[in-house]
Amino acid sequence: MDISIVIPLLNEAESLPELYAWIKRVMDEHKFSYEVIFIDDGSTDQSWSIIEDLKKSNKEVKGLKFRRNYGKSAALNEGFALALGDSVFTMDADLQDSPEELPEMHRMLWEDGFDLVSGWKKKRHDPITKTVPTKLYNWATRRMSGIYLHDFNCGLKAYKNEVVKSIEVYGEMHRYIPVMADRAGYKKIGEKVVTHQARKYGETKFGLSRFVRGPLDLLSIIFVSKFGKRPMHFFGFWGAIAFVVGFLFTSYVLIDKFIALRSGIRQTLVTDNPLFYIALAMLLIGTQLFMGGFLAEMLSRNAPNRNKYEISKKLGFE
């Protein structure tokens, strides 16, 4: 199969027939073999009934319905597990992503050699209350991740199948799939300017809270990808620094007190010296970081995926 299109949705009943007709027209024009996987994320309208109706007359339609709303990341994760196409696309169900972009993105994967192609909505049909925070969010993500995409949050993306099978999407991490792919070893990440359609039906499902949760999820991805299999390298390093600083401060306070006593100089109690409490705090922090590192190391050594590594090629084992 050439293409799988994974479409997470929540209460998008009005747009689904039009969206599928648009996708079908584009796929048929380019003679692609394809499947469209609708993931109903706990809709309370007629979305699932419409998916069932589409399935009756279109064998390419597949659907999965959650019992309740789990979020876009959960929907994409389940869709990725089901996808069979060589190229796996994600797009939103609100008609703001154009299926006309799919053939060129498919070509970029297989002719230009990209592992992942991300859409860039260069010209957006959104209010300023959404575009300005989005620009700040994208800037911060570029700085933190080192991946220079203009639009991390664009729902229209294309992946080689092996990429989506190598990552796990959860929480709010669907925004950072390029970062997760990069950390999994898929470095060839491309970008394509795509058309952003004005919303035709319904209203946006995302609020300003995503700009709070988003950076925290990015920090989690970066930390886990770098130190997930060796947490002691992080906790031990900073624990050692804290312990050394605490030890130096303690030594200074004690030596200063000893010199004063030997010289007969009247001096305040050690416990009246602010450096004593700084030293004590640093020693405690260093000890806690070391203990945290040891506990994390024990957990990682017993994790079921502790020896799971992404292998790109094999030779001589057929």
User: Of 198-202, 251-255, 313-317, which has the strongest mean pLDDT?
Assistant: 251-255
Q: Is 72 helix (H, G, I), strand (E, B) or coil?
A: helix
Could you say which DSSP state residue 190 is in? Answer: E
- Domain definitions of the chain by residue range: 3-227, 232-301
Give the predicted TM-score (pTM) of the model: 0.73
Pairing of strands 157-160, 116-120: antiparallel
Q: 3-227 — its CATH code?
A: 3.90.550.10
Q: Which residues contact 95 (CB under 8 A, 6 or more apart)?
A: 15, 18, 19, 22, 197, 199, 200, 201
224 vs 139, higher pLDDT: 139
Q: How far apart are CA 116 and CA 272, in angstroms?
A: 60
- What average pLDDT does this structure show over 55-69? 93
Q: Is 207 helix (H, G, I), strand (E, B) or coil?
A: coil
Measured CA to CA in angstroms, residue 203 lies from 12, 14, 38, 42 at distances of 9, 12, 19, 16
Could you say which DSSP state residue 41 is in? Answer: -
- What average pLDDT does this structure show over 83-103? 95
The encoded tokens of residue 12 equal: 């998008």
Q: How far apart are CA 159 and CA 104, in angstroms?
A: 13
